[in-house]
Amino acid sequence: MTTLLILVGLGTAHANLDDTRTSERCTAGETDPLAVGSGTLRDPWQICTAEQLEAMPGLSDEEHEDSYLLVDDLDLSGIEWTQGIGDCGLGWSVTVGGFSGTFDGGGHTLEGLSGPGLFECINGGEVYDLHIDGFRTSGTYFFHGTVADQAYMADISDVQVTDSDLGGYGYVGGIVGWARHSDLARVSFHGSLTGGSMIGGIAGHVHGGTLEDSYAIGSMDGSWNVGGLIGVANGLARPVVVARSHAAFTWSEDTLVDQYRVGLLVGLTWGDSDQVQLGSNGGDELDALVGLSAHGLPKVARGAYSGTLIRVERDLYLDPDTYERAGWDLDTVWNAPTRARPPTLR
């Protein structure tokens, strides 16, 4: 087994649009997700029970345009989660349906969720300030992620996923399975990922968009188009920009040696250096893709890297000065690296 660590630097962080909290709270026995609130950003519908969350996939498209606030930690191990929130079908061009509102996690934790992702489809919506713990895949899926199976023109930020195991045939990501024209910031994944094609620590397939101040750590096993952060980065329609992000995975021996299109950061890129930016493409040592591998780099397909790949010693990789010179915020966004681990989000 080989452990891989990756560092990139570039870009700006995405900020949440609204941090307003309402003071009125729903009751412990509530089952209606529309019981308290009015669905606006300043007065969102309040979710305080597992039963309320379980009912959200059954809401209308108009109700999925509203704002929601999680007001408590929830244990979801007792619910049967068979469909995520927001249905827009499968396809490359999402035009109707899906979740287009805002879901504010309030800094709370959803624990014990299993099945499809929390959202089946985010279509122009926002999800932020949420912790998901102990997610488990209960079937075999195409398009599969803990937060969203599909995301179109979505904003996902300040979301942490821990102690979670995902699997599927393809388009499997620690945060989102398939993301088109979406922006992710300050997201992290800890756990295991298994599948066939397009497997990524954060996203299985990114079709235009940004990934900033994020990381993925755990174990991974896939057949082709497998990357520490992104399985496939397609920048032909809109550039893909990965900034100040890293991954540290233990790969299966088959994935590392025998499989096709395996990348330290991205399994396969579509587009030139302007369309897929993995850190800076200018070749500067501190602003380029930095990789560390104990047993050499894995086999990769043509075009798997757009940026300059620089191998560094472990001491440099775990040195806070390396990140500070690359523009990483070790005061408010990241916990500084230690002698044992790379940076983690605060």
- pLDDT digit string (tens) for 21-41? 555 678 888 999 999 999 999
Lowest-confidence region among 17-26, 133-142, 163-172, 250-259 = 17-26
Domain extent, residue 64, equals: 2-345
| Res 111: pLDDT | 97
- Secondary structure (DSSP) of 64-93: GGSEEEE-S-EE-TTS---S-B----SSS-
Confidence band, pLDDT 50/70/90 cuts, at residue 260: low
Q: How far is CA 202 from CA 24, 207, 216, 292, 294, in A?
A: 35, 13, 6, 19, 23
**pLDDT on residue 24:** 65
87, 97 in Cβ contact below 8 A? yes
- What pLDDT score was predicted for residue 303? 36
β-sheet bridge partners, residue 152: 123, 180
The pLDDT value recorded for residue 308 is 31
In this predicted structure, what is the pLDDT of residue 315?
63
Given pLDDT bands bounded at 50, 70 and 90, which one contains residue 290?
A: very low
Does the pLDDT at position 140 exceed 90? no
Once rounded to an integer, what is the mean pLDDT over residues 196-216? 93
Give the start-end residues of each E strand in 213-343: 215-221, 224-227, 230-234, 240-243, 246-251, 260-263, 266-270, 276-278, 289-293, 309-311, 334-335
Least confident of 11-25, 278-292, 311-325: 278-292
Q: Average pLDDT in the 295-310 region?
A: 35
What confidence score (pLDDT) does residue 258 get?
56
CA dihedral 294, 296, 298, 301 (to 10 degrees): 150
Higher pLDDT, 157 or 9: 157
Give the single-character DSSP code of 319.
-
pLDDT band at 317 (very low <50, low <70, confident <90, very high): low
Q: How many domains does the chain have?
A: 1
The first and second tokens of residue 30, run together, are 């509530």
Residue 341 — very low, low, confident or very high, per pLDDT cuts 50/70/90?
Answer: confident
Output the average pLDDT for the chain. Answer: 80
Mean pLDDT of all residues in 190-217: 93
pTM over 0.95: no
E strand or H helix that includes residue 142: strand 142-145
Question: Taking 90 as the threshold, does the pLDDT of residue 332 lie above it?
Answer: yes
Q: What's the whole-number mean pLDDT along residues 88-94?
A: 64
Higher pLDDT, 268 or 299: 268
Residues 233-262 as b/e (b if ≥16 CB within 10 A, e otherwise) read: bbbeebebbbbbbbbbbebbeebbeebbbb
Rounded-to-integer distance, Cα 334 and Cα 346, Å: 5
> What is the amino acid identity at position 260?
Y
- The pLDDT of residue 269 is 81
